[in-house]
Amino acid sequence: MATWSAPGKLFLFGEHAVVYGKSGIAMAIRPRIFVTVRKGGRMSEMKSPYLKECFRRMNVKGSIYVRSQLSSSSGLGSSAAITVATLSAINDEFGLSKSREEIAQIAFEIEKKVQKGLASPTDTYVSTFGGLILITQDMKRRLNPRNLPLVVGNTGVSHNTARMVEGVGEMMKQYPQIAGPIMDAIHEVVMSALHSLNDHRKLGYLMDLNHALLDALGVGHPALTRLVMAARAAGAFGAKMTGAGGGGCMVAICPPRLKNRVTGAITACDAQAFVTGIDTEGARKEKNG
């Protein structure tokens, strides 16, 4: 029996624009998803297409038990985390000797297949390796980890990443002269953020800008805007939606002493909120138990 876990992720800057070759910054965060795999015995019945695909790709049969602290369809990379943790547990239990790089690559291919071609390798890469990651058109680079004081708010409105990505694609086709410059502006926000990672106030300002640009791309939602406004009013340096938008989660960066106040302001809007920070480990073997 082997138990592995993998963390969720946040897009700090640059979601959607990364699909068009622009840069982005993502971060692995607490909480994690835990997966136990056991060879032999009866093959578990799996409803999740991600889990089914993991066993098919690794060409093994076994039973599986999943424990998740991450809500699904919220933009926190739960499907990537479950895929990475499952592949890592299968790899360990069946002695397949795949490297971390191979696990990240197979996890990406599985996400892409299940999501009908609409996935970037960001979520699976971040969940496998952990840390703070700069995504550019042709590479991913681990940045020095920073302890950013973050609060995540979950609207509870479930969204469909593939549909949101398709919607932006439509806008790019119909209004390239409008959508193109918005993508360029997001890229510039990412570049500025990259040079301001130790300046939380400036990062907050850039998050506000990124949120407005995502709204302009049509991926906003009234529930997201409500939480973003509530966080800012409670003293956050800045806040934005995170991930595909259309529902799901937002993230705020705040002075450490105001984290609880910002959390309270978000929960007062009938949403869930939690304080989070960077996860630097990525996929990790756990004690069985």
Distance CA 201, CA 219 (A): 25
- Compare residues 165 and 266 and give the one whose CB is closer to ligand MEV: 165
- Compare residues 149 and 248 and give the one whose CB is closer to ligand MEV: 248
Beta-ladder partners of 128 = none
Candidate list 31, 62, 75, 238; residue touching ligand MEV; CB under 6 A? 75
Helix axes 161-174, 176-194, angle to 10 degrees: 120
Query: Taking CB under 6 A as the criterion, which residues in 141-170 touch ligand MEV?
Result: 161, 165
Active site residues: 123
- Compare residues 204 and 245 and give the one whose CB is closer to ligand MEV: 245
Asked if 8 touches ligand MEV (CB under 6 A), the answer is no
Distance CA 210, CA 188 (A): 10
Site map 23..62 versus ligand MEV, x via CB under 6 A: ----------------------------------------
Indicate the residue whose CB is closest to ligand MEV.
120
Query: Taking CB under 6 A as the criterion, which residues in 232-271 touch ligand MEV?
Result: 243-244
CB burial readout 194-217, b (16+ within 10 A) else e? eeebeebebbbbbbbbbbebbbbb
Dmax over Cα atoms in the chain, in whole Å?
58
The least CB distance from residue 42 to ligand MEV, in Å, is 35
Please choose, from the candidates 205, 237, 201, 239, the residue with its C-alpha nearest in 3D space to the C-alpha of residue 220.
239
- Compare residues 92 and 188 and give the one whose CB is closer to ligand MEV: 188
The secondary element (H helix, E strand) that includes residue 222 is helix 222-233
Name the site residues for ligand MEV (rule: CB under 6 A).
Answer: 11, 15-16, 18-19, 75, 119-120, 122, 161, 165, 243-244
